[in-house]
Amino acid sequence: MSLPPMQYRFLGRSGLKVSVVSLGGWLTHGGHTGDELALQTMKRAYELGVNFFDSAEGYAAGKAELLLGKAIKQFGWEREDLVISTKLYWGEKPDGTKGVNDVGLSRKHILGGMRKSLARLQLEYVDLVFAHRPDRHTPMEEVVRAFNYLISTGQALYWGTSEWSAEEVADAWGVADRLNLIGPLMEQPEYNMLKRDRFEREYEPLFRKWGTGTTVFSPLRRGILTGKYDNGIPEDSRAAKEGGWFKDEVSGAQGAQTLARVKKLKTVSDKLGCTRAQLALAWTLANPHVSSAIIGATSVTQVDENIAALSVLDKLTPAVLEEIDAILENKPKADTFRYD
Amino acid sequence: MSLPPMQYRFLGRSGLKVSVVSLGGWLTHGGHTGDELALQTMKRAYELGVNFFDSAEGYAAGKAELLLGKAIKQFGWEREDLVISTKLYWGEKPDGTKGVNDVGLSRKHILGGMRKSLARLQLEYVDLVFAHRPDRHTPMEEVVRAFNYLISTGQALYWGTSEWSAEEVADAWGVADRLNLIGPLMEQPEYNMLKRDRFEREYEPLFRKWGTGTTVFSPLRRGILTGKYDNGIPEDSRAAKEGGWFKDEVSGAQGAQTLARVKKLKTVSDKLGCTRAQLALAWTLANPHVSSAIIGATSVTQVDENIAALSVLDKLTPAVLEEIDAILENKPKADTFRYD
Amino acid sequence: MSLPPMQYRFLGRSGLKVSVVSLGGWLTHGGHTGDELALQTMKRAYELGVNFFDSAEGYAAGKAELLLGKAIKQFGWEREDLVISTKLYWGEKPDGTKGVNDVGLSRKHILGGMRKSLARLQLEYVDLVFAHRPDRHTPMEEVVRAFNYLISTGQALYWGTSEWSAEEVADAWGVADRLNLIGPLMEQPEYNMLKRDRFEREYEPLFRKWGTGTTVFSPLRRGILTGKYDNGIPEDSRAAKEGGWFKDEVSGAQGAQTLARVKKLKTVSDKLGCTRAQLALAWTLANPHVSSAIIGATSVTQVDENIAALSVLDKLTPAVLEEIDAILENKPKADTFRYD
Amino acid sequence: MSLPPMQYRFLGRSGLKVSVVSLGGWLTHGGHTGDELALQTMKRAYELGVNFFDSAEGYAAGKAELLLGKAIKQFGWEREDLVISTKLYWGEKPDGTKGVNDVGLSRKHILGGMRKSLARLQLEYVDLVFAHRPDRHTPMEEVVRAFNYLISTGQALYWGTSEWSAEEVADAWGVADRLNLIGPLMEQPEYNMLKRDRFEREYEPLFRKWGTGTTVFSPLRRGILTGKYDNGIPEDSRAAKEGGWFKDEVSGAQGAQTLARVKKLKTVSDKLGCTRAQLALAWTLANPHVSSAIIGATSVTQVDENIAALSVLDKLTPAVLEEIDAILENKPKADTFRYD
């Protein structure tokens, strides 16, 4: 199969270009997948034009960063060609314990966590650093100042947020503008066919007012959108093993309805000549506010399958998108702009 | 019946005190109720210690303001003892038509609307002026500057918002702080036992960060919480006549559940020796972030009944509030502050 | 002929709405046209939905403002429904002489000129005040502060520029932002089929960065685009009488080429079933950065003919616009943003 | 005896967590106590959860910092787990002499003093740096700018004050806000049962307005509150040997009254089953504006005894606190906020 060429988008209003498909380290790096397999996955993604590799101090207690750093060294990738991210919030000792100042967005942890992340990555700087969650115990001014410190000391090029509310991002911009500091450029939320409301409704003013870029995760809703649960949860699947919200999502009356919708999407993907995974990924990218969709591919084959979804993108005409909306029945009603 | 003394609270972080029960003009002034009856209602409220009278340019196309202005003149109330509000957004000609610049939060309408409101009220200034809705077509800076103009020219003492999202309030504060201007002091949202989520969850950071005061409307959810729909919708009720969201709310399976909950609240109100209306109003005031609850009383008797609810306030112990939460089953889960 | 309904656009990024066709006072008010005729022209425009009437202290030495003020009084127009502008730069005594401080953008003239303009207009405020030209002898800070004074004292709602270079507008914004003052909202340039470069190329960053609105003048290039010079300059025309740039424009080899192009446009207007004047006006409005096109109609009939052009607007498809560009051969090449 | 677990508090409004009991270097490090004993004391404190170690350039002419640096190295403590402070004001050469620029808060001494402190501590940064006293000869702007320099160059994470008046802290905040710089986060005052006025009355607005955190010293009033002077001053005690304010405090009629009150506190501590030292320490921590109480323990046993006081904290009910106030007779009367 000949794969479509990678596409690149500006990260929000910035001048930085990221590949529309990017590789995340949540699953693949240092976690569920063996190291050698993960390295091959990264290599393949890079060869296919992926330039953005996403990581976090909290992924597998730092092991994701260690492996990403190893890949960069081992494959001799040129630093300028890469967009490397990490996220700070959930620091952890290598043994899994947490000191009282290892968690959150205090200046102490943002500076200390960054130091350790860079050491694990064997890098002098990351391109993107995210506040992995909001921290309502730390004043916004302390948070904004600390991330600006990372930028002004060259340890990071841009800072952003992950799973913050629109109000919190607005607050950060207000503080940054007041202090003549740099505001958060990008948000990393979940966004996929089954989880749309925050991205399409709550975040709408962020795109309009501050040109927020997004690097969205779980475009396949942890695999649900691939159709692999069409016939229930396989016993060896993560859903069955881990329980929690994920199992809930595909169980009961609500879960049955979700799975029925996912099944119905097959009529669309068949028509377009692609898999449902590819349809789901392309659908995410059809939203122009998505700068990059982070895939959690755990094998070279999965990388190829995911990137092949780019050829579906052009086929998502307004008519097809409407057809999908009719199946999903979850399109957020946009807040009206004027009440007249 | 001897009525409890009125109580007063600071309007958010400001030094202004408002009566915890206030009188709204949406229904009573210039609208459904006859003028003479409305004037008597206002008079009674004033005698019982209500100092805050709420109005808007959009209530009955200005007639609510006309009547409020008439009351102030006729009863010879001292201006310093009153807290008078209006809201700008939905301007209207006396004949009900709207010019293209009569709606929204452009500087033109904020200045022009204020001029007309003051004329109708026969006042030199209002204490509070609200942006009656957000206007996403007008830059936040234009809105913040225009309300500050009203304050700096003495036409209003404080400005606030009504039914804005937390993100929009945060944005306004960011702009105000950056420009050394005055931010929005108060929000006027709906808040009652049946509609809690925005107030208790989304607005939580506003109280913490900016000391936002609130003047909440519909504490009785348009009468639903009084129990008057226990046996279905009377044909001559507003619900039956107007249809729309209100009729929907008490119809169907969802409506049946709502009405069942309201019925169940009777066990609580009976125990406390009050009506359900009084319980609902007192419950609203039990939230310390409520500065004032605006009642839509349309008769002297209703004013008395509502203000009697103040004697219920002390009886709302933590145990009673938990009992109510168990009946309502709609307590918002607070966003966690730190994820550790 | 039944006329199409008026359309309204936001003035740049502001919340103010202006009619897309507006009436200018350069020719009609106090100038070449008799007063009664001019008043009837204004009345007709207002009846057809025009809400923006443009004026300047320098039009006929103040007579344009006098006449506009008379119209507002005489016809009893509601102030809130009108968008009234004036422009300051070329002050003049009623006898046509000029004091040393009557010209330019000194704080003295901006304040003094405004006072006189409001007196002539019999108004308390104008909606828009323009700096009629840049003044390179007055520091930008003095200019920005003086126009902000007009806004903060309620004499004007918004300020803008006329025929400033993009660099000068950018400079004004830099000063305004640094001083927490209000920057210029709108520009009033010439824009028509024969004069495109500044609007389409030089001003492009203004639209992008500051949401500059525009009220463009001479959409018919002083009549040339109507076709009335197809057969040369009539001896009694303004062109013949006044000479200067206007006569040059339609004379010589260059003028012949211009007139040939204008003739060719007839093939397009015939196809669309309209006059060339209507095509030219609609073409101007097809540019979304035009907030309003100011017509210089001198009779009721001209007003009607101009406003009828609105029905042409929908017919200006991309293909038609390309056809027009091919005839005009003057489409500015956009500055490239990135060299890749 | 099994010791209670350490507790941690946010340092004022910041996101930094400090142990409520912390170890000071005034006595223990490089001073009265032998080095080996001091190191064991620090080790024990760390093991019991103390994360904040307090120091100053002026403690034993830098020897306290030398010893603290040695401990961090020797015990291999992870830097991220520690909150290390120093204070600048009283610089001194190792031989005890002072250069003309070794004392005060000039930019020269703040930068030079910091350099030497970090060298003695063998650290790249301290978490907290304090202005050890106000310096009324140096402009506040110079002081605020110099401490911000330490933060922006990564030599310190937060800055604060020690024994400044509330007015001076307010002045520093005014300067910092005006210059968009970081204000002083924390104050290090004396606070204990015998010295309450400044903390409880004068500093009250600091907590309310700027969320000032505090690291209080002398919770036992140099041992007086332990009861060891119940029967007068032992001849070998510091009080007898050093004289000065300390001797005065326990001498004469005033001293007799103080000692009588301390004796009376035994009725409370007996009832709670703790020593008077523990009562005094717990009492300090009962004030929520105390972020951390710095103990001057000079032995492992003293560390244990002090930390055991944490189990007394829960027993300090409002009733017990009132009983203590009645004995002390020194509760400051709060400044009234409103005269109504």
- Taking each helix axis from N to C end, the angle separating C300-307 and C276-285, rounded to the nearest 10 degrees, works out to 60
The answer to whether A214 touches A191, Cβ cutoff 8 Å, is yes
Instruction: Report CA-CA distances (Å) from C103 to A219, C64, C91, C165, C217.
Output: 63, 18, 5, 19, 22
Which residues of chain D, if any, have pLDDT below 70? 1, 27-33, 238-239, 242-243, 334-340
DSSP designation for D324: H
D210: amino acid identity, one letter: W
Question: Phi/psi of residue B188, each to 5°?
Answer: -120, 95
The confidence score (pLDDT) of residue B34 equals: 82
Chain B nearest C-alpha distance from A177 (Å): 6
Which residue from A135, A143, A133 is spatially nearest to A182, judged by alpha carbons? A143
The confidence score (pLDDT) of residue D335 equals: 64
Spell out the domain ranges in chain C.
8-227+275-316
Chain A: residue whose CA lies nearest to B334: A136
Tokens 């991205």 correspond to what residue? A199
Taking one residue from A and the other from B, the number of pairs with CB-CB distance under 8 angstroms is 89
Who contacts B140 (Cβ-Cβ below 8 Å, separation ≥6)? Answer: A209, B168, B171, B172, B175
Confidence band for A191, pLDDT divided at 50, 70 and 90: very high
Lowest-confidence pick of A62-71, A128-137, B18-27 = B18-27
The confidence score (pLDDT) of residue D191 equals: 98
Residue with the larger pLDDT of the pair A286 and A96: A286
pLDDT in tens, B221-274: 999 999 998 887 777 776 677 667 777 788 888 889 999 999 999 999 999 999
The confidence score (pLDDT) of residue B150 equals: 96
The DSSP H or E segment spanning A261 is helix A252-272
Residue-wise DSSP of C294-331: EE---SHHHHHHHHTTHHHHTT--HHHHHHHHHHH--P
Who contacts D326 (Cβ-Cβ below 8 Å, separation ≥6)? Answer: none
The confidence score (pLDDT) of residue B238 equals: 66
Q: In terms of pTM, does the model score above 0.90?
A: no
CB atoms D211 and A105 under 8 Å: no
The answer to whether A129 touches A147, Cβ cutoff 8 Å, is yes
pLDDT in tens, C191-202: 999 999 999 999
Lowest-confidence pick of C148-152, C331-335, D277-281 = C331-335
Q: Which two tokens stand for residue D213?
A: 């955190």
Who contacts D18 (Cβ-Cβ below 8 Å, separation ≥6)? Answer: D8, D9, D11, D51, D52, D83, D215, D291, D292
pLDDT in tens, A295-338: 999 999 999 999 999 999 999 999 999 999 999 999 998 666 67
Q: Show residues of chain C in contact with B139, CB under 8 Å.
A: 13-15, 211
For strands C8-10 and C17-19, give the pairing: antiparallel
Test mutation, C14, C151, C212, chain B, max B CBs within 10 A: C14
The confidence score (pLDDT) of residue B28 equals: 60
DSSP designation for D223: T
CB atoms D15 and A93 under 8 Å: no
Q: What is the mean pLDDT of residues B11-18?
A: 93
Q: Is B302 exposed, middle or buried (0-12, 13-18, 19+ CB in 10 A)?
A: middle
pLDDT in tens, C8-57: 999 999 999 999 999 998 766 665 668 899 999 999 999 999 999 999 99
Distance CA B23, CA B286 (A): 18
Q: What is the mean pLDDT of residues C98-102?
A: 89
Lowest-confidence pick of A120-129, B144-153, C230-239, D71-80 = C230-239
Residue with the larger pLDDT of the pair A174 and D243: A174
The confidence score (pLDDT) of residue A273 equals: 96
H helices within chain C, ranges in order?
Answer: 25-28, 35-47, 63-75, 107-121, 140-152, 166-178, 197, 204-210, 238-242, 244-249, 252-272, 276-285, 300-307, 310-313, 318-328
Tokens 């064997």 correspond to what residue? A122
Distance CA A265, CA D283 (A): 66
pLDDT in tens, B264-302: 999 999 999 999 999 999 999 999 999 999 999 999 999
> Does the pLDDT value for residue C340 go beyond 60?
no
pLDDT in tens, C106-129: 999 999 999 999 999 999 999 999
- Would the CA dihedral through D163, D167, D168, D170 be positive or negative? positive
A70: amino acid identity, one letter: K
Q: Show residues of chain C in contact with B145, CB under 8 Å.
A: 182
The confidence score (pLDDT) of residue A239 equals: 64
B near C: at least 3 beta-carbon pairs less than 8 Å apart: yes
> Does the pLDDT value for residue A258 go beyond 70?
yes
Identify which of B174, B338, B340 has the shortest CB distance to residue A171.
Answer: B174
Residue-wise DSSP of A34-91: -HHHHHHHHHHHHHTT--EEE--TTGGGGHHHHHHHHHHHHHT--GGG-EEEEEESB-
The confidence score (pLDDT) of residue D232 equals: 75
C near D: at least 3 beta-carbon pairs less than 8 Å apart: no
The confidence score (pLDDT) of residue D68 equals: 96
Range C8-227+275-316: architecture per CATH? Alpha-Beta Barrel (3.20)
Chain D nearest C-alpha distance from A124 (Å): 16
Tell me what ipTM this predicted complex has: 0.89
The confidence score (pLDDT) of residue C233 equals: 76
For strands A17-19 and A8-10, give the pairing: antiparallel
How far is C-alpha B29 from the chain's CA centre? 15
Assign 3-state DSSP to chain B and report helix, strand, coil percentages, each to 5.
50, 15, 40
The confidence score (pLDDT) of residue B235 equals: 73
Identify which of D51, D78, D157 has the shortest CB distance to residue A107.
Answer: D157
The confidence score (pLDDT) of residue C252 equals: 84
Chain D: residue whose CA lies nearest to A144: D182
> Does the pLDDT value for residue C276 go beyond 90?
yes
Distance CA C89, CA C163 (A): 12
Chain D nearest C-alpha distance from A210 (Å): 22
**Which residue pairs from D96-104 have beta carbons closer than 8 angstroms and sit at least 24 positions apart in sequence?**
D96/D61, D104/D135, D104/D137, D104/D138
The answer to whether B40 touches B300, Cβ cutoff 8 Å, is yes
For strands C21-24 and C52-54, give the pairing: parallel
Chain B nearest C-alpha distance from C185 (Å): 11
Beta bridge partners of D52: D83
DSSP three-state, residue B211: coil
- What count of other Cβ atoms lies within 10 Å of the Cβ of residue A26? 19
Beta bridge partners of A160: A130, A186
Chain C: residue whose CA lies nearest to B115: C80
The confidence score (pLDDT) of residue C335 equals: 64
Who contacts A199 (Cβ-Cβ below 8 Å, separation ≥6)? Answer: A189, A191, A214, A216, A287, A289
H helices within chain D, ranges in order?
Answer: 25-28, 35-47, 63-75, 107-121, 140-152, 166-178, 197, 204-210, 238-242, 244-249, 252-272, 276-285, 300-308, 318-328
The confidence score (pLDDT) of residue C337 equals: 60
Question: What are the residues of chain A with a beta carbon less than 8 Å away from any beta carbon of chain B?
Answer: 89-90, 98, 103-104, 133, 135-137, 140, 165-171, 173-175, 177-178, 202, 205, 208-209, 335, 337-340
pLDDT in tens, B141-187: 999 999 999 999 999 999 999 999 999 999 999 999 999 999 999 99
Instruction: Please provide the distance, in angstroms rounded to a whole number, between the alpha carbons at the two ends of chain D.
Output: 52
B240: amino acid identity, one letter: A
